[in-house]
Amino acid sequence: MPELPEVETIRRDLEKDTIGKKIKSVVVSGTRSVRRHENLEDFTSKLESHKIVSVSRKGKYLLIKLDSKDVLVTHFGMSGQLLRIKNNKEPMEKHTHVVITFTQGGQLRFVDPRTFGEMFVTTEEGLTDEVPELAHLGFDPLDGIMSWIAFGRMLQARKTKLKPLLMDQEFVAGIGNMYADEILFAAGLRHDRSSDSLTSQEIRRLYRSMVETLSDAIKHRGSSLADEQYKDIFGDGGEFQSLHKVYDREGEACRRCRSPIVREKLAGRSTFFCAQCQV
Question: What residues are labeled active site?
Answer: 2-3, 60, 269
Q: Describe the strand order of the beta sheet including 52-58 as a list of residue ranges.
A: 52-58, 61-66, 70-75, 118-123
At 73, give phi and psi (nearest 5°).
-100, 130
In this structure, what DSSP letter does residue 43 have?
A: H
The DSSP string of 89-150 is TSPPPTTEEEEEEETTS-EEEEE-TT---EEEEEETTTHHHHSHHHHT--B-TTTS---HHH
Question: CB–CB of 23/64 below 8 Å?
Answer: no
> In a 3-state reduction of DSSP, which class is residue 48?
coil
Contact of 88 with 107, CB cutoff 8 Å = yes
Any idea how long the chain is?
A: 279
Helix, strand, coil % over all residues of the chain, rounded to 5: 30, 25, 45
Per DSSP, the three-state class of 273 is: strand
CA atoms within 13 A on the CB side of 120: 22
Residue 276 · residue 257 · CB < 8 Å: yes
C-beta of residue 169 within 8 angstroms of C-beta of residue 138: yes
